Amino acid sequence: MHGGGMMMVTGSSYGQMPYSSRPESRMRDHLGENVRRMRQIQRQAKEREANAHQPVKALWKSEKYSGVTSKIKEDIKKPPSTPRPKSATFLRAHSRTGPSIKNISRPCTPDPPSEKLTVPPARCSSEIRFNRNNIDFIRVNGVSAKRQTMKRSPSVNALDELKKKEEEEYNKHRKGEVPKYLQVRKEHWKKTEEERIANTPDPEMPPGHRLLLEKERQQTLKLLLTKEDELVSELSALPLRMDTFRIRSQKQELENKIAEIDEAKKIFNRPKVFVKVDS
């Protein structure tokens, strides 16, 4: 062949040896191997057969029971027992010892009249005619499906009732209103805080004094204002001419009292008033 084709030789190719030139050592004798294998199997079978005819080794037996005879062997050597008489089967179940019972033939039960039969006999099957009315079964099934109520399990029904009850209780409450128990608690907290503040000693209070309560301070201030109005009225009622000594002294006394009330009003108008404790 021309070009890059493979050069072929009769009976061989390039780079290979002819089949006839292979060494004989590589060929396997399958027939000989099979014969040898068969002979080996036969020898093993003969050996097993020869070993099978050998006497079996006696089982180990304790010397303690060497003199004890076998009970089964004694039972086998005993003569067979005599058969029991016929009285042995007397009044025994299935003994059939009594007289035979005669089967008395009874007449067959007559067929009931055809008027009383609820189901027609089989021989009249060819004469039976089905009375079928023109019923719209699709419409009947649709109506029954609409009226049918879905059965629910007891657990689902109980859960629905519980949710409905909780919703009703929730709707009873007024929305946006503080509950009563919170209002009572708030008032209690307020009173407790006021008592705590009232019982706390003021650092500005001098020794031997006490803090005047707000109620007492307001009452005292109200009395001072009332007294001041009375003194001003008495001062206005005095005559204009001060000729006598009594009128001048009375005027001076009223003015002094009004001045004292003014000073007292300044004191009781303060947020904190300390009063000396009587010893």
Q: Give me the pLDDT at residue 223, please.
A: 92
Tens of pLDDT, residue by residue over 58-105, are 677 777 777 777 788 788 888 777 666 655 555 555 555 555 555 556
**Band of residue 3 on the pLDDT scale cut at 50, 70, 90:** very low
Please state which of the ranges 13-17, 129-133, 194-198 shows the lowest mean pLDDT: 13-17
Contact status, residue 249 vs residue 279, Cβ threshold 8 Å? no
Q: Give me the pLDDT at residue 2, please.
A: 44
DSSP string computed for 14-55: TT---GGGS-GGG---HHHHHHHHHHHHHHHHHHHHHHHTSP
Q: Report the amino acid identity of residue 74.
A: E
The token pair that represents 56 in the structure block: 């079996």
Which distant-in-sequence residues (6+ apart) come within 8 Å of 8 by Cβ? 1, 14
CB atoms within 10 A of CB 112: 8
Q: What is the pTM of this model?
A: 0.29
Residue 236 has pLDDT above 90, yes or no: no
For the chain, where are the E strands, in sequence order?
A: 8-9, 12-13, 209-211, 274-276
Q: Report the amino acid identity of residue 32.
A: G
User: What span, in angstroms and rounded, lies between the C-alpha atoms of 163 and 170?
Assistant: 11
The token pair that represents 9 in the structure block: 């030789």
**Band of residue 42 on the pLDDT scale cut at 50, 70, 90:** very high
Q: Give me the pLDDT at residue 92, please.
A: 58
SS3 of residue 82 by DSSP = coil
User: What span, in angstroms and rounded, lies between the C-alpha atoms of 20 and 12?
Assistant: 10
